[in-house]
């Protein structure tokens, strides 16, 4: 029975909550409709901030209307159950939504940032932000106008908390990737690191990821079914 479990989630875990994924084998993901180089890079923001902010405004509004699904709730249950027996769950997400938190997960590492926060490009202050963002908004911390941006990681920027993630990987026994295509690094490389550290690896996904051959075990199906079933197998018999 694994004691320290590391779970990496991607857009697939939030798909059944109505938030789109970025890429799929049918070519219907967000990045098939929108060009990430025009909407999710620092250069795009410098060139056309209105277009970038409008893209994230739409996603923020969708998120505020979305609800966590059974997969998010199952991971919160897993955190609780492992905590009670002095084991641990490290939950790292590439998602910028807050559905893990709303399902009850207490400790979530958002390596690609958080959509419901804004960051000031001048003073770097980060704060919760639920409204649309405009180029004339004033930073509540430094009072400068025009530098607020979504607190998200764009292509060409460094993901967050990589040291913390590496420490957690080193002490884990089991690595599980849920709903991620394995196309974007460094997250796509965590499974190889996990193997190098001697962890068992498991993929839970709708369809096999690009790096599927690096997983010891594969469970294919919608996350709202596969994740609760996996959690039930792990902790169903234990006193929670
Ligand atoms: P992708 O959109 O690349 O991959 C989504 C994965 O979820 C695919 O493997 C799908 O098969 C799977 N999937 C879809 N529906 C599912 C369901 N109901 N249940 C389970 N799995 C399902 O999303 P990510 O891998 O998260 O980064 O993308 C990684 C990064 O690329 C994102 O964080 C974002 C994007 O560009 C930035 O914006 C920096």
CATH classification at residue 193: 3.40.50.1220
Which residue(s) pair with 165 in the sheet? Answer: none
Local confidence band at 128 (pLDDT 50, 70, 90 cut-offs): very high
pLDDT on residue 104: 98
Percentage of residues in the chain having pLDDT higher than 90: 92
Question: Does residue 231 sit in the same domain as residue 162?
Answer: yes
Tell me what the mean pLDDT of segment 173-193 comes to: 97
| Counted domains in the chain | 2
**For range 43-72, the mean pLDDT:** 97
- What is the overall mean pLDDT for the chain? 95
Burial class (CB in 10 A: 0-12, 13-18, 19+), 91: buried
User: In this structure, are 217 and 101 located in the same domain?
Assistant: yes
| Beta pairing, strands 148-152 & 113-120 | antiparallel
pLDDT digits (tens, 9 = 90+) for 65-106: 999 999 999 999 999 999 998 899 999 999 999 999 999 999
Residues 28 and 2 in one domain: no
- 126: domain range? 22-65+115-152
User: Whose CA is closest to atom 30 on ligand 1?
Assistant: 184
Residues whose beta carbon lies within 6 Å of some atom of ligand 1: 10-12, 15-16, 21-24, 29, 40, 94, 112, 153, 155, 179-181, 183-184, 205-207, 209, 222-223
Residue with the smallest CA separation from ligand 1 atom 26 is 10
Sign of CA dihedral 207, 16, 188, 74: negative
Catalytic residues: 112
Would you state the structure tokens that stand for residue 140, as one six-digit string? 């509540």
Q: What CATH number does the domain containing 61 carry? A: 3.30.1600.10
- 206 CA distance to ligand 1 middle (Å): 10
**Ligand 1 atom index nearest CA of 10:** 26
**Residue finishing a domain among 91, 125, 152:** 152
Q: Is pLDDT of 25 > 80? A: no
Q: Looking at residue 172, what DSSP letter applies?
A: -
Per the omega criterion (within 30 degrees of 0), is the bond before 186 cis? yes
Based on the fold, state whether residues 120 and 83 are members of the same structural domain: no
Distance 24 CA to ligand 1 centre (A): 8
Q: Are 112 and 160 in contact (CB under 8 A)?
A: yes
CA 84 / ligand 1 centre spacing (Å)? 31
Contact residues for 235 (Cβ-Cβ < 8 A; gap 6+): 77, 78, 81, 82
């Amino acid at each position: 029975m694994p004691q320290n479990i590391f779970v990496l989630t991607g857009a697939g875990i939030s798909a059944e909550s109505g938030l789109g994924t970025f890429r799929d084998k049918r070519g219907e993901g967000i990045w098939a409709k929108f060009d990430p180089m025009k909407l999710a890079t620092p250069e795009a923001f410098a060139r056309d901030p209105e277009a970038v902010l409008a893209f994230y405004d739409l996603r923020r509004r969708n998120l505020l209307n979305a609800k966590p699904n059974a997969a998010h709730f199952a991971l919160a249950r897993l955190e609780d159950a492992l905590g009670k027996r002095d084991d641990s769950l490290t939950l790292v997400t590439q998602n910028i939504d807050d559905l893990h938190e709303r399902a009850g997960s207490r400790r979530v590492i958002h390596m690609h940032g958080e959509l419901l926060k804004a960051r000031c490009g001048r003073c770097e202050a980060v704060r919760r932000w639920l409204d649309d963002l405009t180029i004339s908004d004033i930073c509540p911390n430094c009072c400068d106008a025009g530098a607020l941006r979504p607190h998200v990681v764009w292509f060409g920027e460094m993901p967050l908390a990589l040291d913390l993630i590496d420490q957690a990987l080193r002490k884990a026994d089991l690595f599980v990737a849920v709903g991620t295509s394995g196309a974007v690094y460094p997250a796509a490389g965590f499974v190889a690191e996990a193997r190098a550290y001697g962890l068992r690896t498991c993929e839970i996904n709708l369809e096999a990821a690009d790096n599927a051959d690096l997983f010891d075990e594969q469970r294919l199906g919608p996350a709202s079914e596969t994740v609760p079933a996996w959690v039930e197998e792990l902790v169903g018999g234990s006193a929670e």
